[in-house]
Every structure is written in C-alpha cells, then in structure tokens.
Amino acid sequence: MRKVLLYVLLPLILLLVAFYWWAKSASLEQDQLHNEIELAHQEFHDRDTFSVMTYNIGYLSGMTNNLPLTVPVDLFDENLQKARTLIDKWQPDLIGFQEIDFRSRRSYNRDQLDSLAAGFNYVVRSVNWDKQYVPFPYWPPSVHFGKMLSGQAVLSRFPVTGSKRMVLTGPQAAPFYYKAFYLDRLVQVVELKISDQAVVLLNVHLEAFDQQTRELQAREVLQVVDQYAAQGPLLLIGDFNARPPYASETISDEKTMAMFLDHPLLSPALDQQQYLASETEHFTYDTANPYEKLDYIFYTPRSIEPVKVATVREAGQISDHFPLYMSFKLRPQ
C-alpha cells in the first residue's frame, strides 16, 4: 500500500514543484524590464504652464479589480476608449500610470500602454510583475490571472534625458510562495527637459497590504527624493496606498504620508486646509463609493509653483482609482 501511495504521490508532488518553478519564472530578461521609447514626434509649443497627472488605472478593470470574476473583453475595450477620451480632454503634459498591463492574460493580452501613448513624444516603461502564471484570485482556477506582464509607465511630451527603475523592499514576513508570485513595488526615476530646465519626475506605487513594509518603502522613496530635490524641480507622484494623517478617519497610527508631508523640500499639491475644506471631493478611492485618498502629487515649492489641482472625478469607473491632476509653473532658475 505504501509503495502504491508513493508511486501515485511522488509524480504529483514533482508535477506541482515543476509547475511552481515554471509559474513564478519571468518571460523577460533583466535588461528588458525598463526601457525608454521615443515616439513619432508631436509638435509641442513652449509655454509657461505645464501639467501632470497620476493615475492608477487598475488595468482598466474598473471595480472588478482583483475580484474572482470572469470579466468580458468589452469592459476593457470600453474603458480603454474612455481613458483615451479623458486624456485627450485634460491634455496633461506628463502622466504617471500605475497598474498598467503591457500584455497580460487578465486583460486579454492588450498592450494598454501602446494604446494610451498616442499624442505623447516619450514613453518610459517599467515592468514590476512578470510571471508565467499567477494563481490569483485563488478560486475558482478559471479566474486566475495567468500570465502577467504589468507595471508602471510615464508618458511625456517633453524630452526624456534619462530614467531608471528602482525596486523597493518587499514584505519580508510573507511566506515564500506569496513572495514568489508577488509584484515588485517601484520608483520610476525620469529625468526631463522642460523649458530648458532639468526636471525629475518620480512615479511610485507603494505596498498595499502591509503597513510596516509601506513605511519602509516610504523611507526608501525619500532617500531618492533627497538625491534630486536639492538640485532642481522635482515632482513626486503616484499611488501611496495610505491616507493623509489629518484625514477625518484614520485606520491606525501609520506614518507613511506624514513622512512626505514633513519633508522640508516637498509640498503636497493639495494641502491640509484645502483637503479638509471639502474632504469627500478629494477621495481618490474607490470610484464606486469614494471613501479615502490614496493618490498624491508632491512638488518642490522652491522651484515649482502650482496653478490648479483637481481630483478628476469625471473619470468614473475606468479604474477603482480616480486620477489626480496638477498644472504648474517652473520658477525662474
């Protein structure tokens, strides 16, 4: 009987081990995880006011994001068109995307970045989730994400003079199988030339599920800020996955956003007074029933003057996040 069990179980165990190693493996080489692309040049007239948008597009899945559902292809195609229309209306000069799929099974292998980049001159793509097979949501298997190629991206109408992909520390206490399939959290560092000034854009997406990891990542991001903020204009944008410390409802004593708000060289696009004057209007998550602010734009006030700030509620349920927009001027050098 034991031999029979051994002959039955051993092949099954070996098959599971082989599947595990294959599923967690990447499809790209390390040097393919980050690249700059110069598109067909669009004429751009210099001016004194510019604009930036941060948008976690949730792979265009609306409020179905991460739910164990079979989502029809029509939803992704409709949301892609809505996102394109929104961008055309607001005309941001810079966009930082989070949770954008490059070719993933969960979004029908569409390259969402390729479709949204029309009208921009430069693209910076950074992959943070490259797996042969992601078994999530866990049940039923028919709704597994499967092959994943996803990440963050920056679109720019201005010349990109340099960029890099920086991986933040992940959750250390998580079990090995969780870490094997989990995405990397990134800082995209993009160096730009705007109106003859060197400007640095940092596009981030911090840890969503573990506060301790998120606070550690915040400290790492601030180390990057310190490298660039004293040198000239800097924009820090993205999904920080944390509420401001002055929110009317706080979940814990989390320090993530306080670290950024207390930094002497940074200012938030939306300050405490503006936020509290109309708190619910500035919630960025979720789009079905907004109840918290997770997305932010920071800038260096010594070199950047904000002109207009808006939480773009008209985006509706393209994603589970609303985009955040800021127009600004560069102060004379």
Can you give the pLDDT at residue 40? 72
CA distances from 164 to 34, 192, 275 (A): 7, 12, 32
Does an H or E element contain 38, and which? Answer: strand 34-38
Tokens of 68: 């164990």
Can you give the pLDDT at residue 58? 98
Of 167, 238, 161, the residue nearest 197 (C-alpha): 161
CB 62 within 8 A of CB 319: yes
pLDDT, tens only, 305-318: 999 999 999 999 99
The string of DSSP letters for 225-239 reads HHHHTTTS-EEEEEE
Architecture of domain 28-330: 4-Layer Sandwich (3.60)
User: Which residues, in sequence order, are CB contacts of 86 under 8 Å at separation 6+?
Assistant: 312, 314, 315, 318, 323
Within the chain, what is the greatest distance between any pair of CA atoms? 83
CA distance 149 to 109: 9
CA distance 158 to 187: 20
Half-sphere exposure (Cβ direction) of 29: Cα atoms closer than 13 Å: 2
Boundaries of every domain in the chain = 28-330
- Residue 312 phi/psi, 5° resolution? -85, 80
pLDDT, tens only, 123-176: 999 999 999 999 999 999 999 999 999 999 999 999 999 999 999 999 988 898
Regions of the chain where pLDDT drops below 50? none
The type of residue at 272 is Q
CB 300 within 8 A of CB 276: no
pLDDT, tens only, 207-235: 999 999 999 999 999 999 999 998 999 99
- Residue 326 phi/psi, 5° resolution? -145, 130
Can you give the pLDDT at residue 7? 64
- Residue 127 phi/psi, 5° resolution? -80, 135
